[in-house]
Structure 1
Amino acid sequence: MSTLILNDILTFVERQADKVLGGFFNKGEMHPIAIEKKLCRAIDEGARVFLRKVYAPNRITVTLHPDDMKKYRKYYDIFITELQATAKEHIRNNVSLAENAGETITITVKEDPAVQRGDVLCNAELVSGAPEGEVEREAGL
């Protein structure tokens, strides 16, 4: 079985366990370790392979319920700094030979009442430096 398929299976099992156990143990309060765990999972899922090279995501969005966001607003700068440090360390240690491991990682934290209180959504994507539309022209598409 290939490593990618095994990784997909493990990710699926971990998500299912989070759904079952997370709801049982979570008393409606967002804990930093839960944010860190979902951040790392989003990084793993956002990694891309291009021409035999692996690239880690460099834009990460963390979305919290407004009530949970209140907790982090007091020390927002420290919160962002810690998330960036966690992301960089995770990429360095877990995303195999990422070509862009030393690049800047942009992290945005926003609130959305659609996110359940005590939950977090993380999205990690790889974005290039070219303005939107430039990539298609340069590639001749």
Structure 2
Amino acid sequence: MSRRTSARRAPAITATSPCPCGLGAPYGDCCGPFHQGRGAAPTAERLMRSRYSAFVVGDAAYLLRTWHSSTRPPGLDFDRSITWTGLEILGATGGSAFHSEGTVEFRAHYEVRGQADDQHELSRFVREDGDWVYLDAVG
């Protein structure tokens, strides 16, 4: 997601809440451990999903920590009028344990003042210090 993308803190997501990333596991078993620094996303797609979840829960520190050092902004400001409503992964290339780079195409759905919209992006991910990080959007 780009620097201009914003997020609104979702109502109380707990460890037992469904994870916002859409994989169907509880947040505490899915993206929560990544957000808390108790592990790193094993693939570019899992990093994309965990970054989406970080937008949902308003975790700027995680987003910045998983952004490549060459493209990372100095900070993030969340637009509290946006409510993230779902994530679709449309495709991926590379990005596995055997790769050093990969792409993930996604559509992130949201609402602003009752109006539904979405953000469509093809994101590039690379490894930095062994961990997957978001590099930039293609195109």
**TM-score computed with the length of structure 1 as normaliser:** 0.35
In our comparison, the structure showing a higher alpha carbon Rg is 1
> More helix per residue: 1 or 2?
1
More strand by share: 2
- Higher RCO structure (Cα 8 Å, ≥6 apart): 1
